[in-house]
Structure 1
Amino acid sequence: MRIRKVTTIVEEILGEGGREVDPTARVAVVAAVIDNPWAGEGFVEDLAPGIDAVASDLGAVLAPRVMEALGAPLEAYGKAAIVGIDGEIEHGSALIHTLKFGNHFRDAANASTLLPAVEKRGLAGATFDIPLKHFTDATIRSHHQTTEVRIADAPHPHEIVIALAGATRGRPQQRLADLSTER
Structure 2
Amino acid sequence: MKVRKIVTIIEEITSEGGREVNPPARVAIVAAVIENPWKGQGFVEDLSEGIEATASDVGALLAPAVLAALGATAEAYGKAAIVGLNGEIEHGSALIHTLKFGDHFRVAANATTLLPAVEKRGPAGVVFDIPLKHITDATIRSHHQSIEVRISDAPHPDELIIALAAAAQGRPQQRLADLSTEL
The separation in 1 between residues aligned to 2:74 and 2:13, in whole angstroms, is 15
TM-score (norm 2): 0.99
Q: Which residue of 1 aligns with 2:157?
A: 157
Q: Which residue of 2 aligns with 1:148?
A: 148
Q: How many residues end up aligned between the 2 structures?
A: 183
Q: Return 5+ residue gaps in structure 1 as ranges.
A: none
Structure 1 residues 63-89: Cα deviation after superposition (integer angstroms, max 9, x where no partner)? 000000000100000000000000000
Q: Does 1:30 align with 2:53?
A: no
TM-score (norm 1): 0.99
Q: Which residue of 1 aligns with 2:136?
A: 136
Q: Which residue of 1 aligns with 2:56?
A: 56
SS in 2 for 1:28: strand
Measured after TM superposition, the shift of residue 24 of structure 1 is 1.3
Q: Which residue of 1 aligns with 2:88?
A: 88
Q: Which residue of 2 aligns with 1:46?
A: 46
Structure 1 residues 6-62: Cα deviation after superposition (integer angstroms, max 9, x where no partner)? 000000010100001122110000000000000110000000010000000000000
Structure 1 residues 73-116: Cα deviation after superposition (integer angstroms, max 9, x where no partner)? 00000000000000000000000000000000000000000000
Q: Which residue of 2 aligns with 1:13?
A: 13
Deviation beyond 3 Å, 4+ runs, structure 1: none
The separation in 1 between residues aligned to 2:113 and 2:135, in whole angstroms, is 6
Q: Tell me how large the CA RMSD over aligned residues is.
A: 0.5
- What is the letter of the counterpart of residue 27 of structure 1? V
- What is the letter of the counterpart of residue 104 of structure 2? H
State the identity as a percent: 77
- Of stretches 110-119 and 20-29 in structure 1, the one that deviates more from structure 2 is 20-29
- What is the letter of the counterpart of residue 9 of structure 2? I
Q: Which residue of 1 aligns with 2:174?
A: 174
